[in-house]
A and B are shown apart, each in its own frame.
Chain A
């Protein structure tokens, strides 16, 4: 079988970028490459260094070490105005003293372009986001969703092919945020742009991206497609950052080529098929709340734990159960709501999970709580 590997020139590349503010390390040898036409998202808690990363790419912040490549060229010495990268700021930062039209045409205007050249394309872009009729309004007269779209158009009118987005949906209502996510991705894909999007919201990242990078304390923890990151989170922090996960501490009792038997700290046995650990004995098992199932028939077997329902809450199409196990621990289970099989508080249940769905990690040195904390 012949494999043809096509190497696309990565549109944006960061090589060993480090940035310190006094004693605080904002970025610690960050390496990234974003391919042409890719929608790339950097996710992480507040203070992880996401905005700093974007500022470095845009040239608004100079890194202490490392190189920034755009379209194969080192741009470290290029001023922001020379990089031709569109930037959408948190809070949009639409110029308050200029009308929508003046905001949107600012880029071409300051570059000294001929108005005849950019007039038409600016108008077309406004049509694209359904705001052509508001061209003479001022930012303060527009709603949050409208401002976001204007900010987007403004970033693109000078022909930038790379779009940097700093929490573009953060200041919007939850519902609008959810709706605009899809619009944002559609727009970027339709216009064939390369986008680097920064957010603290994992759900947003999953929906909007082709690939995701997780950033914590200035370090990249993992990069991959949403599918890859979801199925194979490489660290406790990553899996905890996505939805609700149950963590069970235990010790490996016996192992084989691709399986291991673990005894839980508070009682119970688990068999896993995935192997990610070396020779440690102390481990933490992670099972996602959506990977657990109720199965009355598995009482007493491996990979099943018994307990009773402590609380149940209906949440938009699924039910969240808190189950108090017989061994004293609490686990969370999510189940799509359906007509039958509601459980009530105090019902006895048996919770089981498939060996493939359990992820195993070595017990972290700093303790479980610190390993999961955002800062």
Chain B
């Protein structure tokens, strides 16, 4: 109840007003950046439905070829995403277990290596995967095969997607496995359950939320992936690719329609998946004491751990990092023909088209964009996290959480496209393709990551510290500055890493809105398409190095800054 009249209560209401205007600014930002474009895309389709209809279903030249293509591509996207998710869970769970429960020499190194694919920008990763599985310099060279083990197509898309979604799954699982109270497992063991039985009947059901989060993350990332997919798809096309293609052909209406469809289907599927996952219970009715006891033994466990490590190496790590190997072998010339001009060094630095200059410009552009994006994310993301976790209205909190999932669930190409649609010549006409549009797109794509990271740390922070500060006389902003912020720092740092590296590696949406500027990932795509593979490898390596160093730096910072409270 507000009572006017006394000086205290006036100040109180002023603070409340300011606080709520803060919230309004933050909410508007989110709405503008991420939600409005999508809404606009939907409305564009509805308002121009006649035109859309003609382009998609009744084109004078191709008939409903575009509709057919749409169906095919959507189907492919979802098939790939489903397969990738299932494989990720199967191979990721044992690795997450190893990382959370075991202690061994070199564990830290393995831990950071699991994150490597995250640091590799997707186009570079796609390129690397292609080199490893599909070119004669890769795995095929061990067997003496001329052309490569796989050709571009769905199989390679799956392999590429597995590589970069693996870290998401492993991280989500590790986080929740570490949080589970070991006491439950101990209790189960003392009651007679073998290790495997205890994990199956007790721990797994308890980490279900982590499994669901990891699965959803993997699914949506795979669904929205564009950069890597472009390089490994061959003639097959996933939905994001089609959007990019149509946009480049300036076939706006069908692109909008596809974008809308993909968004709608993705969101729908997500809700269904979430609903089902909540309801699904682990089968707990049966036990197999003898079999599970055997599986708990030292040897089977050793086999399982070895297998997980091998799979990690062969499916995730090596393919992701293969560009380095490639660059090494091709540095001064082709290992097959010996020609110097085919070598990395020559192509980048000595060739007349001065690739090194384009690379240098792109590096600067990429860094500029990612820095601006990260700063915006920090400024608007931290307050949003506060709203999501500490907001007064429960309903608002729930709605916000759901809405924050949207930009991640939507393929970046679709998101980029909708932003292009809203702000570009077909919409408000305020921005044309170029630097600021790219910044906008990257912000929309990375903002939820920042918010989620900060929010999850904030959620784990007991309110008592802030309450104590208040009782000691600190004003709300002072409490935020001296207590909340330092204690939430690990989340902020994690969010910064994610935001920066995601932006650095963003390809699909960037292509849609970049105009004439080039970021490094886009450069990689261009050079691969022009068959300048060694140069592309070099650019990839530069990008990977930059991202990885940054990640290590921040990881190190987090270690210093992380405070483990006694209670």
Chain A residues proximal to chain B, CB less than 8 Å: 55, 58-60, 79-81, 83-87, 89-91, 93, 95-98, 102, 106-107, 109-112, 154-155, 158, 164
Tell yes or no: B12 within 8 A of A by CB: no
Say whether, besides A96-B206, A97-B206, A109-B287, A89 and B191 are in contact (CB < 8 Å).
no
Q: How far is the CA of A102 from the CA of B282 in the complex (A)?
A: 14
**Is the CB–CB distance between A93 and B190 below 8 Å?**
no
Give per-residue flags for B181-220: 1 if the beta carbon is below 8 A from chain A beta carbons, else 0: 1011011111111100110011001100000000000000
Q: How far is the CA of A84 from the CA of B202 in the complex (A)?
A: 19
19 contacts between A and B (CB under 8 A): A60-B186, A81-B191, A81-B192, A81-B293, A85-B190, A87-B187, A89-B186, A93-B181, A97-B205, A102-B284, A107-B191, A110-B192, A110-B193, A110-B197, A110-B198, A111-B192, A112-B290, A154-B187, A158-B191
Tell yes or no: B289 within 8 A of A by CB: yes
Question: Which chain B positions have C-beta within 8 A of A111?
Answer: 192, 289
**Is the CB–CB distance between A58 and B190 below 8 Å?**
yes
Question: Which chain B positions have C-beta within 8 A of A107?
Answer: 191-192
Question: Which chain A positions have C-beta within 8 A of B288?
Answer: 112
Say whether, besides A81-B194, A93-B181, A110 and B186 are in contact (CB < 8 Å).
no
Q: How far is the CA of A96 from the CA of B203 in the complex (A)?
A: 11
Question: Which chain A positions have C-beta within 8 A of B181?
Answer: 93
**Is the CB–CB distance between B192 and A60 below 8 Å?**
no
**Is the CB–CB distance between B289 and A93 below 8 Å?**
no
Besides A87-B187, A110-B191, 8 other A-B contacts (C-beta < 8 A): A55-B186, A59-B189, A81-B194, A95-B184, A109-B287, A110-B188, A110-B289, A112-B288
**Is the CB–CB distance between A87 and B190 below 8 Å?**
yes
**Is the CB–CB distance between B192 and A93 below 8 Å?**
no
Q: How far is the CB of A175 from chain B (nearest CB, A)?
A: 25
Q: How far is the CB of A90 from chain B (nearest CB, A)?
A: 8
Say whether, besides A81-B193, A97-B205, A112 and B287 are in contact (CB < 8 Å).
yes
Residues of B311-356 at the interface with A, using a CB-CB cut-off of 8 Å, are none
Question: Which chain A positions have C-beta within 8 A of B293?
Answer: 81
Q: How far is the CA of A97 from the CA of B189 in the complex (A)?
A: 17
Question: Which chain B positions have C-beta within 8 A of A60?
Answer: 186, 189-190
Question: Which chain B positions have C-beta within 8 A of A91?
Answer: 183
Q: How far is the CA of A111 from the CA of B189 in the complex (A)?
A: 11
Question: Which chain A positions have C-beta within 8 A of B192?
Answer: 81, 84, 107, 110-111, 158
Q: How far is the CA of A85 from the CA of B186 in the complex (A)?
A: 12
Question: Which chain B positions have C-beta within 8 A of A97?
Answer: 205-206
Question: Which chain A positions have C-beta within 8 A of B289?
Answer: 110-112
Q: How far is the CA of A111 from the CA of B206 in the complex (A)?
A: 21
For A157, the closest partner residue in chain B by CB is B191
- Among A55, A83, A95, the residue within 8 A (CB) of B187 is A95
Question: Which chain B positions have C-beta within 8 A of A112?
Answer: 287-290
For A60, the closest partner residue in chain B by CB is B186
**Is the CB–CB distance between B206 and A87 below 8 Å?**
no
Q: How far is the CA of A89 from the CA of B184 in the complex (A)?
A: 9
Question: Which chain A positions have C-beta within 8 A of B184?
Answer: 93, 95
Q: How far is the CB of B496 from chain A (nearest CB, A)?
A: 33
**Is the CB–CB distance between A89 and B187 below 8 Å?**
yes
Q: How far is the CA of A155 from the CA of B192 in the complex (A)?
A: 10
- Among A86, A89, A96, A110, the residue within 8 A (CB) of B201 is A110
Q: How far is the CA of A58 from the CA of B187 in the complex (A)?
A: 10
Say whether, besides A110-B188, A112-B287, A93 and B183 are in contact (CB < 8 Å).
yes
* Residue in A81, A84, A93, A109 with the greatest tally of chain B CB atoms within 10 Å: A81
Q: Which 4 A-B pairs have the closest CB atoms?
A: A107-B191, A93-B183, A87-B190, A80-B189
Q: How far is the CA of A90 from the CA of B186 in the complex (A)?
A: 12
Say whether, besides A81-B193, A97-B205, A154-B191, A87 and B287 are in contact (CB < 8 Å).
no
Say whether, besides A111-B289, A112-B287, A112-B289, A81 and B206 are in contact (CB < 8 Å).
no
Say whether, besides A97-B206, A110-B287, A86 and B190 are in contact (CB < 8 Å).
yes
Question: Which chain A positions have C-beta within 8 A of B290?
Answer: 112
Q: How far is the CA of A112 from the CA of B290 in the complex (A)?
A: 9
For B187, the closest partner residue in chain A by CB is A93
Q: How far is the CA of A93 from the CA of B190 in the complex (A)?
A: 12
Question: Which chain B positions have C-beta within 8 A of A102?
Answer: 284
For A107, the closest partner residue in chain B by CB is B191
Residues of B360-382 at the interface with A, using a CB-CB cut-off of 8 Å, are none
Q: How far is the CB of B382 from chain A (nearest CB, A)?
A: 33
Q: How far is the CA of A112 from the CA of B192 in the complex (A)?
A: 10
Q: How far is the CA of A317 from the CA of B184 in the complex (A)?
A: 42
Question: Which chain A positions have C-beta within 8 A of B287?
Answer: 109-110, 112
Q: How far is the CA of A89 from the CA of B284 in the complex (A)?
A: 23
**Is the CB–CB distance between A80 and B190 below 8 Å?**
yes
Question: Which chain B positions have C-beta within 8 A of A164?
Answer: 190
Q: How far is the CA of A348 from the CA of B191 in the complex (A)?
A: 62
Q: How far is the CA of A111 from the CA of B187 in the complex (A)?
A: 14
Q: How far is the CA of A58 from the CA of B193 in the complex (A)?
A: 13
Q: How far is the CA of A107 from the CA of B287 in the complex (A)?
A: 11
Q: How far is the CA of A79 from the CA of B194 in the complex (A)?
A: 8
For B183, the closest partner residue in chain A by CB is A93
* Residue in B186, B187, B193, B284 with the greatest tally of chain A CB atoms within 10 Å: B187
For B184, the closest partner residue in chain A by CB is A93
Q: How far is the CA of A284 from the CA of B193 in the complex (A)?
A: 53
Question: Which chain B positions have C-beta within 8 A of A80?
Answer: 186, 189-190
Question: Which chain B positions have C-beta within 8 A of A83?
Answer: 190
Residues of B153-199 at the interface with A, using a CB-CB cut-off of 8 Å, are 181, 183-184, 186-194, 197-198
**Is the CB–CB distance between B202 and A95 below 8 Å?**
yes
Q: How far is the CA of A80 from the CA of B190 in the complex (A)?
A: 5
Q: How far is the CA of A95 from the CA of B183 in the complex (A)?
A: 10
Residues of B272-305 at the interface with A, using a CB-CB cut-off of 8 Å, are 284, 287-290, 293
Q: How far is the CA of A158 from the CA of B290 in the complex (A)?
A: 17
Question: Which chain A positions have C-beta within 8 A of B193?
Answer: 81, 106, 110
Question: Which chain B positions have C-beta within 8 A of A96?
Answer: 206
* Residue in B186, B197, B287 with the greatest tally of chain A CB atoms within 10 Å: B186
Q: How far is the CA of A81 from the CA of B198 in the complex (A)?
A: 10
Q: How far is the CB of B291 from chain A (nearest CB, A)?
A: 10
Q: How far is the CB of B411 from chain A (nearest CB, A)?
A: 35
For A110, the closest partner residue in chain B by CB is B193
Question: Which chain A positions have C-beta within 8 A of B201?
Answer: 106, 110
